[in-house]
Chains A and B, each alone.
Chain A
Amino acid sequence: MNNQLKVLRAMRNWSQAELADRLDVSRQAVNAIETGKYDPSLPLAFKLARLFAMPIEEIFDDGHEGHDDGE
């Protein structure tokens, strides 16, 4: 899954370690999310959304265009 984490972090001049401290996760976790090696859990995704004051879908992109309507 693609994400904007690296860009959002760079805009705030935060290091991976600083972001990790704010999220209370390890620096390796931040690095793994940024490089797409790991997709965060829903609670962690919400935490990221809250930290950056953005909807989750603006931080993460699962590659699907538009919205699923369930049909």
Chain B
Amino acid sequence: MMAMKDMTMVNEPQGTHPRPGVLWPTVIILGTVFLMGGVAGYLDAHRADGGDGPSGLVAGGLVLLAGTVVMWLYLRRFGAFWQGWSRRKRLYTASVAGSGLLGFVTAILLRSGQSDVTADPFFSNSALSPQIAIGLALLWGVGISIAIFIYQRTIDDHEQRAYLWAGLAGYYAFVIPAPMWWVLSRADLAPPVNAMLLFLLTVAANALVYMWLKFR
């Protein structure tokens, strides 16, 4: 009963405090991305010409880390504004921002870790180096698990409903086409089952239903 009482307490919004703008975060994000690309490209080209120095991936990672620290320092200046947010809202924003950063790092690693630089980094099956493959698997398995755990604890009723229906849609988008494709491929009426294509289908179904229920 106590838990219910606490859960249903009504918040009194804090007074207005200076809030972070859009300009500086945009400058920091774009600056970091361009600097990463520039530094990594220069170092990789330098090494390809027989020069010494760190790999573009390592240098790009350091630039990303520096950019993240600069962003954190900027946002930290608005401590009073963040204090006005509820704990749920702060954690929710942190989990969404963390997931975005994770996605960005994953994209960079996918791009830099494949042997065939002309292949599409996201939809090809070109070979990856073992170190990058293990790193990506861990990043996805551990990083996404932590982000989902935090996210699930911070969403409100409305978003939870959108999330649950979206999850069901993603499940149906897998269990209906997967066996169909499998039996058709066994009769040589379809190409072999492509797990990544099914994965993308479930993600697309999940995202569509989530967006519809959350934002319409």
Q: Which A residues fall within an 8 A CB radius of B?
A: 18, 21-26, 28-29, 32-33, 37-38, 40-41, 43-44, 46-47, 50-51
Whether A24 contacts B158 by the Cβ 8 Å rule is no
Whether A43 contacts B7 by the Cβ 8 Å rule is yes
B216: which A residues are within 8 A, CB to CB? 37
Whether B89 sits at the interface, judged by CB under 8 Å, is: yes
Query: How long is the Cα–Cα vector from A44 to B8 in the complex, in angstroms?
Result: 7
A35 nearest CB neighbor, chain B only = B216
Whether B215 contacts A28 by the Cβ 8 Å rule is yes
Cβ-neighbour of A47 out of B10, B89, B161 (below 8 A): B10
Q: Which B residues fall within an 8 A CB radius of A?
A: 4, 7-13, 86, 88-89, 156-159, 161, 214-216
Whether B157 contacts A24 by the Cβ 8 Å rule is no
A32: which B residues are within 8 A, CB to CB? 158
A-B CB contact pairs (8 Å), 10 listed: A22-B11, A22-B12, A23-B10, A25-B158, A26-B156, A33-B158, A43-B4, A43-B7, A44-B156, A47-B10
Query: How long is the Cα–Cα vector from A53 to B138 in the complex, in angstroms?
Result: 50
Shortest beta-carbon distance from A57 to chain B in Å: 17
- Assuming the contacts A24-B88, A37-B216, asked whether A29 and B158 have C-beta atoms less than 8 A apart, the reply is yes
Whether A38 contacts B158 by the Cβ 8 Å rule is yes
Shortest beta-carbon distance from B91 to chain A in Å: 12
Whether B156 contacts A29 by the Cβ 8 Å rule is yes
Cβ-neighbour of A25 out of B7, B9, B156, B214 (below 8 A): B156
B7: which A residues are within 8 A, CB to CB? 43
A24: which B residues are within 8 A, CB to CB? 11, 86, 88-89, 156
Query: How long is the Cα–Cα vector from A21 to B10 in the complex, in angstroms?
Result: 9
A25: which B residues are within 8 A, CB to CB? 156-158
Shortest beta-carbon distance from B156 to chain A in Å: 4
Identify 4 new A-B residue pairs, CB closer than 8 A, beyond the known A26-B156, A26-B158, A50-B8.
Answer: A18-B13, A23-B10, A24-B156, A43-B8
